[in-house]
Chain A
Amino acid sequence: MLSALKFAKSIPAAGALRSVQQRAYAAAASGEVLKKTILHDYHVENGGKMVPFAGWSMPVQYANLGVGASHVWTRQNASVFDVSHMLATRITGKDRVKFYETITVADIENLPVGSSTLSVFTNENGGIIDDTIICKHQDSLYVVSNAGCADKDLAHIRTHLKDFQNKGGDVDLKIIDDHQLVALQGPKAAAVLEGLVGKSLQDFPFMDGRFMDIKGIHCHVARSGYTGEDGFEISVPNRDTVEFTKMLVADPRVELAGLGARDSLRLEAGLCLYGHDLDDTVTPIEAGLTWTVGKRRRTEGGFLGAAKIQDQLKNGVSRRRIGLLVQGAPAREGALIYSNGELIGKVTSGCPSPSIKKNVAMGYVKNGLHKAGTELEVEVRGRKQKAVVTKMPFVPAGYHKV
């Protein structure tokens, strides 16, 4: 038993520890040197259980709170997550919007300055190379994407960047490595941050980004996150990151939280995890991310895989991402989904929900069986269990509206 031991305690993969479930925390290949964020030692000092994740040593949880308790704390109070492993880039040059519209589905042209959007990088077949947040500033784009995709994202972007530049396009990409990214998430996040900046953040809408002085530290603050709660992703200069994090955690409303809670929080919120719920064979239409394809982009195209995506918009898709509530044992990634005995799909993420105390999952099913209320079956350890297609998010979103 106990695959979980592998990441919970980073016990080297002893042959006897057979695994049911490797999730994203698979043991690092022997000899792999893990990268460390600036907060690494701070995590360890604070009881962080460090695990290999996307080539980084990251905390999966902290000694003072189990994953379930940390999850619930975030839903009721506020938690700090180190997300510095994510790839942050700044795009400059007068043709930056034009260039990013060739590699993503977003309508960046019509995105208001100071606002951001979830988008996807697509390949020639319309498949998703990665999901990303694009924030539009006066003079640049600030783009954050997944740590696990960093190498392939950069290779992909640079290939197309070079072509674009060779054709005379004015655009440049810089990796932001002099800042760390710290997320403050939860219904009390705004009150905590307001205390530090000394002013109301009521007029700061969710998905906007601003530059702010926080106790004398110059930060970029994006009101966004990956938990379904109100919150902020704060880009902090490297040298101030530990001090900044200590300042957040000194507030009694704030606890440290790790990858474990982050995963169950985002699943309850219906948010996709790349490599599980999204991959390069899935299009944004199949993934239920049609809304990320700007209206103008649907007609005009002009991005990689546009033909495929426009065809799917017109003629429909064969599979769709859905949410499920599963009876009995929790359904995990890879569990097969049936309808009247016929195999119709697969679970891509699943866990027992700490908030609603039911088993939640997302996965892909055949088109037509995707409507809320559809009764299906999910196979767990050879047993078929009842499951009902359920609208996501599984818990109401707490995003701040102005």
Chain B
Amino acid sequence: MSLSALSARLFPTIRSQAVARMAAPASFARFYATKKYTAEHEWILIDNGVGTIGITDHAQSALGEIVFAELAELKDVEKGDTIGSVESVKAASDIYAPISGKVIEVNEKLNDEPALLNDAPETDGWLCKIELSSEDEIKDLLDEEAYKQFCEEAH
């Protein structure tokens, strides 16, 4: 599945807003959503100035059964801030903001169904959405190829 298709499937509302904004001189002119990764094993799908964040499939598989997710607070965050955690029986792992901005939405479903983080880490198990304060930080993130390589090298 292409990233744009993934985005359209996951975030239909945002997509339609994106289309609407395209008509006007948008400050975030990106049309296709961009999926990036971090060395903390998180993914961020950036679409029209909003980044949806989650943990990678590699991360969930290494963590094992996730039984609790502490969700982010709706507030401004700096890149690198702790914005919650995911926990298995044996350990807690912090979630770090991959990018600066404002947390505008969290995936409340995870309160009742933390297993979504294992079953669908890169789709229904998303953690939160951050409205980017600057696009400059995007260039520091890893693309899919670089992340794959990072995971392989770490082995």
Residues of B contacting A21 in the complex (Cβ-Cβ under 8 angstroms): 91-93
A:32-75 near B, CB below 8 Å: 60-61, 66-69, 71
- Bound together, the chains give a CA A17 to CA B93 distance in angstroms of 10
Pair A4/B91 contact, Cβ less than 8 Å: yes
CB distance from A301 to the nearest CB of B (A): 41
Contact of B89 among A12, A20, A71 (CB under 8 A): A71
The answer to whether the Cβ of B39 comes within 8 Å of any Cβ in the partner chain is yes
Pair B94/A18 contact, Cβ less than 8 Å: yes
Pair A1/B59 contact, Cβ less than 8 Å: yes
Residues of B contacting A260 in the complex (Cβ-Cβ under 8 angstroms): 64, 89-90
How many residues of B are counted as interface, with CB atoms below 8 angstroms from the partner's CB atoms? 29
- Bound together, the chains give a CA A330 to CA B90 distance in angstroms of 10
B:64-117 near A, CB below 8 Å: 64-65, 67-68, 70, 82, 85-96
The answer to whether the Cβ of A3 comes within 8 Å of any Cβ in the partner chain is yes
- Bound together, the chains give a CA A4 to CA B91 distance in angstroms of 6
- Bound together, the chains give a CA A264 to CA B92 distance in angstroms of 14
- Bound together, the chains give a CA A4 to CA B82 distance in angstroms of 16
Residues of B contacting A332 in the complex (Cβ-Cβ under 8 angstroms): 91-92
Contact of A67 among B64, B96, B154 (CB under 8 A): B64
The answer to whether the Cβ of B42 comes within 8 Å of any Cβ in the partner chain is yes
- Bound together, the chains give a CA A354 to CA B85 distance in angstroms of 18
A:377-392 near B, CB below 8 Å: 380-381
Residues of A contacting B41 in the complex (Cβ-Cβ under 8 angstroms): 1-2, 5, 17
Convert A359-402 into 0s and 1s, putting 1 for each residue whose CB lies closer than 8 angstroms to a CB of B: 00000000000000000000011000000000000000000000
- Bound together, the chains give a CA A263 to CA B88 distance in angstroms of 13
Report the nearest A residue to B73, measured CB to CB. Answer: A383
Contact of B65 among A14, A66, A380 (CB under 8 A): A66
- Bound together, the chains give a CA A231 to CA B68 distance in angstroms of 31
Report the nearest B residue to A69, measured CB to CB. Answer: B65
Pair A4/B39 contact, Cβ less than 8 Å: no
Pair A264/B93 contact, Cβ less than 8 Å: no
Pair A330/B64 contact, Cβ less than 8 Å: no
- Bound together, the chains give a CA A20 to CA B41 distance in angstroms of 14
- Bound together, the chains give a CA A263 to CA B91 distance in angstroms of 11
The answer to whether the Cβ of B57 comes within 8 Å of any Cβ in the partner chain is no
Residues of A contacting B65 in the complex (Cβ-Cβ under 8 angstroms): 66-69
- Bound together, the chains give a CA A94 to CA B129 distance in angstroms of 72
Pair A1/B93 contact, Cβ less than 8 Å: yes
Query: Given A1-B42, A381-B82, A20 and B93 touching (CB < 8 A)?
Result: yes
Query: Given A20-B94, A330-B92, A14 and B39 touching (CB < 8 A)?
Result: yes
Pair A2/B40 contact, Cβ less than 8 Å: yes
Residues of B contacting A4 in the complex (Cβ-Cβ under 8 angstroms): 62-64, 88, 90-91, 93
Residues of B contacting A330 in the complex (Cβ-Cβ under 8 angstroms): 68, 87, 92
CB distance from B90 to the nearest CB of A (A): 5
- Bound together, the chains give a CA A67 to CA B38 distance in angstroms of 27
Query: Given A1-B40, A1-B59, A381-B82, A23 and B91 touching (CB < 8 A)?
Result: yes
Pair B154/A12 contact, Cβ less than 8 Å: yes
Count contacts between A and B, CB distance < 8 Å.
Answer: 113
Report the nearest A residue to B56, measured CB to CB. Answer: A2
Residues of A contacting B42 in the complex (Cβ-Cβ under 8 angstroms): 1
Contact of B64 among A1, A11, A66 (CB under 8 A): A66
The answer to whether the Cβ of B55 comes within 8 Å of any Cβ in the partner chain is yes
Pair B92/A2 contact, Cβ less than 8 Å: no
The answer to whether the Cβ of A322 comes within 8 Å of any Cβ in the partner chain is no
Residues of A contacting B40 in the complex (Cβ-Cβ under 8 angstroms): 1-2, 16-18
Residues of B contacting A296 in the complex (Cβ-Cβ under 8 angstroms): none
The answer to whether the Cβ of A305 comes within 8 Å of any Cβ in the partner chain is no
- Bound together, the chains give a CA A12 to CA B152 distance in angstroms of 12
Query: Given A12-B154, A21-B91, A329-B70, A1 and B62 touching (CB < 8 A)?
Result: no
Report the nearest A residue to B42, measured CB to CB. Answer: A1
- Bound together, the chains give a CA A16 to CA B142 distance in angstroms of 13
CB distance from A253 to the nearest CB of B (A): 22
Report the nearest A residue to B153, measured CB to CB. Answer: A14
Residues of A contacting B96 in the complex (Cβ-Cβ under 8 angstroms): 1, 18
Report the nearest A residue to B96, measured CB to CB. Answer: A1
Report the nearest B residue to A67, measured CB to CB. Answer: B89
- Bound together, the chains give a CA A337 to CA B64 distance in angstroms of 28
Report the nearest B residue to A10, measured CB to CB. Answer: B155
Pair B91/A3 contact, Cβ less than 8 Å: yes
Residues of B contacting A11 in the complex (Cβ-Cβ under 8 angstroms): 62, 154-155
CB distance from A179 to the nearest CB of B (A): 29
Pair B92/A20 contact, Cβ less than 8 Å: yes
Residues of A contacting B94 in the complex (Cβ-Cβ under 8 angstroms): 1, 18, 20, 381
Pair B90/A263 contact, Cβ less than 8 Å: yes
Can you identify 7 A-B contacts, CB atoms within 8 angstroms?
Answer: A2-B41, A5-B63, A18-B96, A66-B65, A66-B88, A264-B89, A354-B89
Given contacts A4-B93, A5-B41, 7 further A-B contacts (CB under 8 A): A1-B85, A2-B40, A8-B64, A16-B39, A17-B39, A20-B91, A69-B65
The 8 A-B pairs of least Cβ separation, nearest first, read: A16-B39, A4-B91, A66-B65, A1-B93, A5-B62, A1-B40, A8-B62, A2-B93
